[in-house]
Structures are given as structure tokens and as C-alpha cells.
């Protein structure tokens, strides 16, 4: 039986890196991307910061006011609001590249994914490391993102490994090295160990994963309950049997392009729309999915958005049906369109996985 090999990929300081892509002149400056609340002013929290900002102590989750205080003597620091539509667009482009390198692909969020690469690496960790480096290079050349990858025999250790050398790192932990890799790490390195749990362990004089292993499973169960206690006990030993699973895929696929010129002419827009449909259809067929909802999006010349969608009577994977519905929505949106369209997008959602030829299972 082949040795299972799993990669965890994480895009470095993702939201801030996306902003650097959009405005390359910001790359040398501290960037703080913020989720502003509806209370106005500086109310809200830091979503992420680039490494220039982190040098000054800015962290994700920090109140914006605190972040501004830390950077008050840094005149070129930049505070930007989140733009999740834009980040999703960049993420989808990167995920499309990642899928090509996986036997099994599991979407986790905009900035991370798991890949089972057992078959294509032949269970060989050296080949898996070479594949991971090729993937990092492909993402950099196609999407211009830097990323960090952890490689091990399971998801848990791969995730910990991907956080070990940031940014732009690659860490491989072979099965016989799991114990020596994990033991010296702080307990908070284990995914799911939050601040309160860490403080509880510190009160007990436990700082590293090696220290944590002094507690038996019964003690951990009494502290955290059976489910979490058992998880922590196994995690400290690098034990994780959960397979990489495609169930975590995004609930919609979308493609969006900037038009060669701003327009609102049906004939002009329809050509690009049909190509977008073809691109999405390729991804749907590859992932063995059928869809029930189709939508189109306009980003207008004033950068405002217009969208329109339609739910089909029956799930389908038909390219003809996708194009027909998208073109119908295009005509309907253009009926009262006053502003020129700058960007055009298509999305499909309400997926069902196809098992065999016609059996429909696994509703998202």
C-alpha cells in the first residue's frame, strides 16, 4: 500500500498580497487590510497585514485603532477596506491552477486548500516535494501570488508544516520525522488550540507539544470533553486519519474579465460571455458536477455592480443550456442598461455531484 502524501497550501498574507497585485507601488509599504464596522470611523478589526506591517506588531483580529497606533510613526502605512469580490476572483484563478496538481482537491477557504498527491507522487516524498515546488512556481507565474506549502502523511501535520516557514516556504515532514518536528513547537501550533486553551496549558506548566504529551487522554477528556480531548491527544502525536475530501469546494464557480473596451452592445458582450461560459463549463465537467443556478454580473464604468440570476427547472451540466441562460440574462440586463459595462462575469451555483451517469447525490 502506498504511503499517503498530503499537501496543505496557504497563500501568504492573502488579502494584503491581493492589494499589492492591484497596486504594485504599495509592495514596499506596510499594508493593513481592515474589516470596518458600520459604526463608522476606525471601528472594526484587521483582516490581515503584510509582513512590513507585521514588523510593527500589527496582527489579524487586532482593532483598527490599535493597529493605527502601532503605525502612527510610519507615514507610508496604508489602511484599506476589504474587497472580497476581488479576493475571490484572485482565489478562483489560483485554485484552478492548484487543482491541476492534485489527485484529490479540498477547498478550505479563499487562501488555503489541501491536496492528496499520493498517486502522482507514487508515495515518494522527494517527488511530492518537487511537485509542490512546481505548484508554487505555477501559482507565482500564473497568478503572481506567493504561497507556502506543508507536506506530510496527513492533513493535520501538513497544516502545521505550512505555517512553519512563512512567507514563501516549503516544509516536508516525513512519517519518521513527525515526532521530532512536532515536539519542540508551542502548543498553540496545533490547529484549533485557541488563546484560552493555551492559557490553561500554560497554567499547568505545559508550553510545547512535547510537554502536552505528558497528559493522558483521560485527563484531556476531563478538561475539554471527550471529542476535543481525544483530538488534542492525537494531534500532539501527529495522528489524523481524515482523508482529503472534495466536499469543501466553493458553492459557486465564477469567471469575470475586464472587457477590451467599455460597452453595452449585446453582440459585443455576447462573444465574451460565451467564452466565459465555456471556461466555467470545463471546470464543472472536470469536477463531475451539475448546476441549477446561472447568474451574470456587470461591473459598470462607475465601478458599481449589477447582477441577474435564474434558477433552472432541473440540474444540468449542458454547455448549451448554460450559454442559452446566460445570453437570456444578458438581454434582460441590457434592456435598461444606461452605463457602459467595464467587466463582465458569469457564475453557476446550486451544485450536485454526479455519481455514475445519472445518479445525483451529495447536495451542497
Which residues form the catalytic set? Answer: 112
Neighbouring C-beta atoms of residue 79, cutoff 10 Å: 18
CA distances from 87 to 20, 145, 167, 181, 279 (A): 12, 12, 19, 33, 19
DSSP designation for 154: S
Cell of 255: 469567471
Cell of 100: 491541476
CA distances from 7 to 156, 162, 167, 184, 282 (A): 10, 9, 16, 22, 25
Contacts of 14 (CB under 8 A, 6+ apart): 48, 87, 91, 110, 111, 145
Nearest CA-CA partner of 215 in 204, 225, 227: 204
Q: Is 125 helix (H, G, I), strand (E, B) or coil?
A: helix
- To 10 degrees, what angle do helices 84-99 and 125-143 make? 140
CA distances from 281 to 12, 89, 113, 263, 289 (A): 30, 17, 22, 25, 10
Q: Is 335 helix (H, G, I), strand (E, B) or coil?
A: coil
Render 54-84 in DSSP notation, one character per residue: HTTT--TT-BHHHHHHHTTT-TT-EEEE--H
CA dist 68 and 196 (Å) reads 26
Cα angle: 264, vertex 283, 297; to 5 degrees: 25
Return the half-sphere exposure (C-beta side, CA atoms, 13 A cut-off) of residue 207.
2
Nearest CA-CA partner of 289 in 355, 210, 191, 206: 355
Amino acid at each position: 500500500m502506498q504511503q499517503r502524501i498530503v499537501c496543505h497550501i496557504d497563500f501568504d498574507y492573502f488579502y494584503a498580497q491581493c492589494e499589492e497585485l492591484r497596486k504594485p507601488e504599495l509592495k514596499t509599504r506596510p499594508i493593513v487590510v481592515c474589516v470596518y464596522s458600520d459604526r463608522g470611523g476606525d471601528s472594526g478589526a484587521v483582516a490581515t497585514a503584510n509582513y512590513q506591517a507585521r514588523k510593527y506588531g500589527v496582527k489579524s483580529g487586532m482593532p483598527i485603532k490599535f493597529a493605527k497606533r502601532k503605525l502612527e510613526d510610519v507615514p507610508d502605512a496604508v489602511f484599506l477596506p476589504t474587497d472580497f469580490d476581488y479576493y475571490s476572483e484572485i482565489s478562483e484563478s489560483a485554485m484552478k491552477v492548484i487543482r491541476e496538481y492534485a489527485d484529490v482537491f479540498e477547498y478550505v477557504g479563499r487562501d488555503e486548500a489541501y491536496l492528496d498527491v499520493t498517486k502522482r507522487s507514487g508515495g515518494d516524498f522527494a517527488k511530492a516535494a518537487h511537485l509542490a515546488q512546481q505548484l508554487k512556481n505555477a501559482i507565482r507565474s500564473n497568478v503572481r501570488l506567493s504561497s507556502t506549502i506543508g507536506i506530510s502523511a496527513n492533513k493535520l501535520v501538513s497544516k502545521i508544516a505550512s505555517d512553519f516557514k512563512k512567507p514563501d516556504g516549503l516544509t516536508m515532514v516525513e512519517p519518521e520525522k513527525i515526532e521530532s518536528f512536532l515536539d519542540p513547537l508551542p502548543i498553540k501550533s496545533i490547529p484549533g488550540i485557541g488563546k484560552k486553551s493555551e492559557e490553561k496549558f500554560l497554567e499547568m506548566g505545559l508550553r510545547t507539544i512535547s510537554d502536552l504529551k505528558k497528559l493522558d487522554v483521560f485527563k484531556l477528556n476531563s478538561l475539554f470533553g471527550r471529542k476535543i480531548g481525544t483530538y488534542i491527544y492525537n494531534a500532539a502525536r501527529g495522528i489524523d486519519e481524515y482523508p482529503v475530501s472534495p466536499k469543501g469546494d466553493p458553492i459557486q464557480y465564477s469567471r469575470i474579465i475586464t472587457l477590451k473596451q467599455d460597452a453595452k452592445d449585446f453582440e459585443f458582450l455576447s462573444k465574451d460571455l460565451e467564452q466565459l461560459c465555456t471556461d466555467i463549463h470545463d471546470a464543472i465537467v472536470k469536477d463531475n458536477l451539475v448546476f441549477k443556478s446561472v447568474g451574470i454580473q456587470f461591473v459598470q464604468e462607475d465601478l458599481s455592480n449589477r447582477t441577474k440570476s435564474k434558477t433552472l427547472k432541473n440540474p444540468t451540466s449542458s454547455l448549451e443550456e448554460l450559454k442559452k441562460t446566460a445570453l437570456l440574462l444578458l438581454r434582460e440586463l441590457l434592456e435598461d442598461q444606461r452605463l457602459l459595462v467595464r467587466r463582465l462575469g458569469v457564475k453557476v451555483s446550486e451544485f450536485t455531484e454526479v455519481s455514475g451517469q445519472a445518479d445525483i447525490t451529495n447536495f451542497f
